[in-house]
Structures are given as C-alpha cells and as structure tokens.
Amino acid sequence: MGKRVAIVGAGVSGLASIRCCLEVGLEPTCFERSNDVGGLWKFSTFVTSVEKHPDFSITGQWNVTTEKDGKKESSIFDAVMVCSGHHVYPNLPKESFPGLELFKGKCIHSRDYKEPGAFKGKRVLVIGLGNSGCDIATELSHIAKQVIISSRSGSWVMTRDWDDGYPWDMMLITRFETFLKNNLPTAFSDWWYMKQMNSRFKHENYGLMPLNGTLRKEPVFNDELLACILCGRVSIKPNVKEFTETSAIFEDGAVFEAIDCVIFATGYGYAYPFLDDSIIKSRDNEVTLFKGIFPPQLEKPTLAVIGLVQSLGSAIPTADMQARWAAQIIKGTCTLPSVRDMMNDIDEKMGKKLKWFGKSETIQTDYIVYLDEIASFIGVKPSIPWLFLTDPKLAVEVFFGPCSPYQYRLVGPGKWPGARNAILTQWDRVLKPTNTRVVGSPQKPCLFSHWLKLLAIPILFVAIFLVLI
C-alpha cells in the first residue's frame, strides 16, 4: 500500500493534488478546510486540526482531526497537502475608511454578492478595481441607477482577446516573451511592458492608470468595463477619503451622494487555523515557504502547501505542477535541498518579487519561470536547445508558441506519448469552437509577426538616419 496523504481543501488545488498522488501510487483522502469559512459541499468532513505525530522527527507522520455532523475523529497520515488556496477569508478593511461606522447604507464584501436583482434602481459604490470589483460593477451597470468604482492605485485592464482576436494568454505567455522580459535592460523591459498593457487603449484616458505602472501586478480581465465607462454606466473615482451617513467623499474632493450600498471588492486573506503557527511562518506579509510549497524548517518534508501562489498565468497548471513535485517528495523519489539552501533561495526570490510586483503582492510569481523551476526538480522541464537540435518543428512551437502544460509531459516522470502532437495541434483546438461558420481555412497566428513589428521600429529609424546622412 502507498503512503496515506491527507488533502485539506476540495477546490482546484485539492483535485490536482488527488490526481498527482494517484499518479505516483500514493493514497489520498480529501477533506474540506476548516469549517469556519464554510464548505463547498453540504455534508463535508472538515479538518479541525493538523498536528505532528509524537514521533514526527522519525516518521514524518501527522495526526489529522476531522469533524462531521458534530462528531470528531482523529487519523494518522504519512503526509498532508494543504490546498485551501489564498482566497479564503474576506478582507474588509473598515478601519481604512474614516466615518464608515456612521454610514447608514448597506455594506457587504464581494463574496456575499450573488446576483444583481437586489440592486435594481440603487446607487452602488464598489471599492476595489480588481477582477471581482469590475465584474460586479459591469453587471450592476445594467440594472442599478448609478455605479461608481473607487480605486486606490488603479489597475491594468485587459480583454480576453489579443492581437487579431486570439486569446491573450496564447499570445503573451510564451517562453520567448519571458526570455526577453527577464533579459532585456530594465528600462526597455518596463517600456515594453507598459506599451503592451496600453496597446488596446490609453488607461489614463479612462482613469484606470496604475500609480506604478511598471510593477508586474496581475491585470484585470474584463470585456465590458470600457464600454460601460464610455456609455456613462460606470464611473471611476480615486480612493474614498471618508464616509458620511449617506455619502462618500473621494480624495479628489468629489462626493457620491445618497449611496444605497457599498460593496467591498477588497480581496481575501489566508490563514491555517488547523495548523500551529510555527509550521507555516509569515514575516511582514512574506510567506516563508520554499518555492511557495514546503516549510523549510520541518524535520521531514511531509507537509506541502498547494495553491498559495498567484502566477501571471493559469492557476490550474500551476497547482498541478506544485502537486506533482509534492507527490514525488512525499513518495521519496525527489529530495529537497538543505535548510540553508532553501532559506537562501527564499530570501533571494523575495527580493526579486518586491522589485517586480511590489510589497503587497508577495505571493505573486512569474508563471513560466516558476513552472520551469519546479519542473527542473522533477526532471520534466523541456530542454529547448536539445529540441532545436532534434525536433526543430516542435522546438519552434515550444519556444515561440503558447507555454501550454503539454510541454511538461514531453520528458521525465509522467511523460505522455501524445504530448508532442498535442502541442503541434493546440491551435486547431483553440480555433475550432469559434469557427462555427466555415468561410475558409482557420487562420493560425504567425509566431514571429508580433516581434517583426517591434523590430521594424528600430529598423525604420536606422533607415531614416542613413537617408539623412
């Protein structure tokens, strides 16, 4: 029999962890996270505590106490994978808004927003320019009397389509883009990043421009916001300076009168009430975990945190890669570096994160760089130079095309024979749902056209210079 693994959390990260455990012969058992935040399923079994077994330093085992229908039960597990993610506890910073205690309207967190009908004809203030805030505001704009979004620092706003209508992530999340971004001079990299973010529209014209536009914070994805602003259904305002009984006064002096409801789309916090605080330490909003997964100080690497990163890419492949590595560590086919090396890596990475993402985004990470780091530990990272020597057609697609999860199934543990063909035909599957009226052959993107346009600029300047001299 394989080692028994307790999976705490039944969301995306939990399901990925179950699959990865089964893939390497472990025996996963899934529980819901602590019941103080509610369960996904009505009759869930909740974890109330996870404690080291008395002989943990030898066995690495854990005592997991669960509760269902008021009855508690304890079991011993060989390992634990904490998969509760980072969208757990609603963040409602009332202390940051003077006078809010005087406000007589309704105040809710975005988590409690369910449908727009209750806001028909209302005047609504949405605080927060993230994905939740924009989604709620644009939906309410069709039924509410007036909707205003208050933003402290602004956000980059992107639509789901990119050049020529192709999905943005298929066009932008590539190894080539990542290589240039991480190796070009900072000034040029920052300029190019802001140029990409502003390619659809000028953010300053819509009041959306981030205060620090060069930080690689997660952009907002919304296809309606611009149209709503243009039509006057949604307005953007700066941070709220203070509240009165019926209104909000913004930092620019403007006043929003007769507010019926304030919706705080101010994100979430994370905590592990079922774990001792010493196991997963946090210092100044910095999570002290090796690669965002393993507590470096544990005597045995039998606890892994899955999903406590926010990558600029898809969450599912990120959680899957984390879970693949954790399963290999638990099984014993992979080992972790020394405690000293892990702590040094944590300090080094935190310095880079602060530079790229800012102090408030310490769980954010670069998607491809992060996946490649973990893939290297498992032995599933594709070798680009080797591919160019042995399979140039595949190499071009892997390096210049979308960094799809198939790439991490080409070699090593979990290798899939169909990975190569899946990569070479991925655009066929992307375009098929949109090509319901056949008017010709589906037009796949040219992998180099985007960068030929960029290179055309300096070439043009050189040509003009040569003509003038």
pLDDT band at 287 (very low <50, low <70, confident <90, very high): confident
Q: Output the pLDDT for position 414.
A: 92
Q: Output the pLDDT for position 162.
A: 85
CA-CA distance, 421 to 419, in Å (whole number)? 6
* CA dihedral over 370, 11, 343, 365, signed as positive or negative: positive
Q: Output the pLDDT for position 86.
A: 75
Q: What is the mean pLDDT of residues 102-115?
A: 93
Angstrom CA distances, 79 to 23, 33, 56, 82, 104, stand at 16, 16, 11, 10, 50
Beta bridge partners of 402: 174
38: pLDDT strictly greater than 60: no
The answer to whether 155 and 132 have CB atoms below 8 angstroms apart is no
Q: Looking at per-residue confidence, does 283 or 252 come out higher?
A: 252
The answer to whether 279 and 192 have CB atoms below 8 angstroms apart is no
Percent of residues in the chain assigned helix, strand, coil, to nearest 5: 40, 20, 40
CA-CA distance, 159 to 146, in Å (whole number)? 24
CA-CA distance, 457 to 32, in Å (whole number)? 54
Angstrom CA distances, 238 to 121, 151, 244, 421, stand at 24, 5, 17, 50
Q: At 442, list the tokens.
A: 């589906």
End-to-end CA distance of the chain: 79
CA-CA distance, 45 to 127, in Å (whole number)? 35
285: pLDDT strictly greater than 60: no
pLDDT band at 124 (very low <50, low <70, confident <90, very high): very high
466: pLDDT strictly greater than 70: no
454: pLDDT strictly greater than 60: no
CA-CA distance, 211 to 357, in Å (whole number)? 13
CA-CA distance, 103 to 242, in Å (whole number)? 10
Main-chain dihedrals φ then ψ at residue 109, nearest 5 degrees: -90, 155
Task: Kindly give, in sequence order, each residue whose CB lies less than 8 Å from that of residue 455, ignoring residues fewer than 6 positions away.
Answer: none
Angstrom CA distances, 173 to 31, 59, 152, stand at 34, 42, 28
C-alpha closest to that of 386 among 398, 374, 378, 375: 398
pLDDT band at 449 (very low <50, low <70, confident <90, very high): low
Instruction: Please give the mean pLDDT across all residues of the chain.
Output: 87
Q: What is the mean pLDDT of residues 277-299?
A: 79
CA-CA distance, 76 to 8, in Å (whole number)? 14
Q: Output the pLDDT for position 41.
A: 47
pLDDT band at 457 (very low <50, low <70, confident <90, very high): low
pLDDT tens column, 437-447: 888 777 888 76
pLDDT band at 267 (very low <50, low <70, confident <90, very high): confident
The answer to whether 225 and 96 have CB atoms below 8 angstroms apart is no
- Percent of the chain, pLDDT > 90? 56
Tell me the whole-structure pTM to 2 decimals: 0.87
Angstrom CA distances, 293 to 81, 83, 230, 296, 300, stand at 9, 10, 44, 9, 14
- Tokens 């005047």 belong to 123
387: pLDDT strictly greater than 60: yes
420: pLDDT strictly greater than 80: yes
pLDDT tens column, 339-376: 999 999 888 877 666 666 655 556 778 899 999 999 99
Q: What is the mean pLDDT of residues 317-321?
A: 93
37: pLDDT strictly greater than 70: no
Beta bridge partners of 248: 243, 256
Winning range, highest mean pLDDT, from 198-212, 221-235, 309-323: 221-235
Q: Looking at per-residue confidence, does 99 or 286 come out higher?
A: 99
Beta bridge partners of 75: 64
pLDDT tens column, 177-203: 888 888 888 888 888 888 888 988 999
The total of other beta-carbon atoms located within 10 Å of residue 415's CB is: 12
CA-CA distance, 371 to 123, in Å (whole number)? 44
Q: What is the mean pLDDT of residues 295-324?
A: 90
Q: What is the mean pLDDT of residues 254-261?
A: 94
C-alpha closest to that of 447 among 429, 430, 427: 427
